[in-house]
Structure 1
Amino acid sequence: MKKEEVASIIHNDGLENIGDSGNQLLKWVTKNNYHISGPMREIYPTDPNDSEKSLTVELQLPVNQ
């Protein structure tokens, strides 16, 4: 298995405003001089069918310096 460094953010506000969290993650990566090394990923630690309002999503962005 290949090791990979990622920047991540946890979004707990359903899917409606998930783009705002993605933008915060991108700003942090840029501000801290990281370089994006792959596409953003969404990880759903809870079942997305349970309730969209209480959905938790981890956004991960592969990075390197």
Structure 2
Amino acid sequence: MGVVALVAAQYLLLDRMGGAFHALMRDEPGACTTVTVLHMICGRLVLGAMLWCTGSCGGTRCSGG
């Protein structure tokens, strides 16, 4: 459930990564803003939760029920 909430928050609130990525590639200012940093943090939390849930990081597997 936590992964769904993080993905929904990213989609609804932090969907400005395309512009930030292109600014970074063109070496323009404004690539690293609060929104882009929050997006990266949420993405890492989602990845960590998925790895923990599948047991890929040494954590316990989700019971699934």
Structure with the higher strand share, 1 or 2:
1
TM-score, normalised via structure 1 length: 0.30
- Whose Rg is larger? 2
Of structures 1 and 2, the one scoring higher in RCO (CA 8 A, sep 6+) is 1
TM-score, normalised via structure 2 length: 0.30
